[in-house]
Amino acid sequence: MDLIANHISHRFGDLAVLDDVSFTVGAGEVVAIVGPSGCGKSTLLSILGGLLQPTSGAPELRGAPPADSLNPLTFVFQDFALLPWATVEENVEFPLLHTQLSAAQRRALVDDALRRTGLTDFRTTYPKQLSGGMRQRVGISRALAVKPAILLMDEPLSALDSQTRELLMEDFVRLLADGGMGAVYVTHNLEEAARLADRIVVLSRRPGRIREVVTVPMTRTERGEIAAREKLLALQNQIWSLIRNEAIDAEREVQHA
């Protein structure tokens, strides 16, 4: 199943946020979206996932989703979006409650998702008892439980400290390794983009237009090796040079209240 951004433009009132953005995420492909702050990255992701109506253009799907997928396009949120009154396992089970699955089937999916994220020992814990990193693991576990075809990840690591970020990035590399699951990964962190993505879509300053699409010429496993470091840094510098001047302008801009 491919996810297509088909000439998507969006405005909030008078403010143009996105301008004619088009690209395709192929099956199993990881596409990062980077750009200066306020360029509409998160807005674009909301539109792609059907949570926001674009002013013009449309998000489209091509091909059938995997047969066992309960929610082909699944979000992982920056602020985790966990139900504070529900335990870890109740949070992971939440998106399954309204499905046709039996209690035993739901249980099996929850167990599997918890195991894949190392949360099995925390199933009866409440979100407030967990660290930020563990909370995001619950968010990822909940996403895995519905067997997504494409994960829509909205700055999933930006609320975390740098050590936790490093650990979770390793988790992502592992989860995305087999190519069964694709992802759209919105981030302002170029290192994350270079480590995880097959392709990096670089957006311009608001209104966001595609400035360039950079292909990362290595497998994700290769990128973990020391030898790859220099190449990845060069890639990050290349992207940074594309957005640096606009990032400065964006930072100096007076916010629209």
Partner 1 sequence: MLDRAGTSAKDDTTRRVRFRGAGFVPASSRFGGWIALALVIAIWQAAGSAGLVNPLFLPAPAAIARAIYQLAMSGALWQHLSASLLRIGVGWVLGTAAGVAVGFAIGLSRLARSVGITFISALFPIPKIALLPLLILWLGIGEEPKIATIALGVFFSTAISVYSGVDAVPRNLIRMAQSFNVPFATIVRKVIWPGALPAILAGFRITASVALLLVVSAEMIGAQYGIGAFVLQAGNLMQTDQLLAGVVILSVFGLVVGKVIGWLETRLLHWR
User: Minimum CB separation from partner 1 for residue 87, in Å?
Assistant: 9
Site residues (CB under 8 A) for partner 1, limited to 185-244:
none
Stretch that binds partner 1, among 47-55, 162-170, 174-182, 183-191 (CB under 8 A): 47-55
Compute φ and ψ for 247, nearest 5 degrees: -65, -40
State the minimum distance, in angstroms, from the CB of residue 59 to partner 1.
13
Give me 94's structure tokens: 């939440």
Kindly report the number of other CB atoms within 10 A of residue 22's CB atom.
11
Distance of closest approach, residue 90 Cβ to partner 1, in angstroms? 9
Nearest to 5 by CA among 31, 37, 34: 31
Tokens of 186: 């919105």
Beta carbon of residue 62, minimum distance to partner 1 (angstroms, whole number): 20
Rounded to a whole number of angstroms, the minimum distance from the CB of residue 248 to partner 1 is: 30
| Minimum distance of partner 1 from residue 152's CB (angstroms) | 8
Does the protein bind partner 1 through residue 95 (CB under 8 A)? Answer: yes
Contacts of 113 (CB under 8 A, 6+ apart): 92, 141, 142, 144, 145
97 to 136: interface string for partner 1, x by CB under 8 A: xx---------------------------x-x--------
Counting contacts by CB under 8 A, is residue 85 touching partner 1? yes
Q: Which of positions 133-152 make contact with partner 1 (CB under 8 A)?
A: 146
- Distance between CA atoms of residues 247 and 160, nearest Å: 22
> Which residue, 97 or 227, has its beta carbon nearer to partner 1?
97
**Residue 49 touching partner 1 (CB under 8 A):** yes
CB-nearer residue toward partner 1: 143 or 235: 143
- Which of 4, 65, 94, 250 lies at the binding interface for partner 1 (CB under 8 A)? 94
Give me the residues that bind partner 1 (CB under 8 A), please: 49-51, 71, 73-75, 77, 79, 81, 83-86, 94-95, 97-98, 126, 128, 146
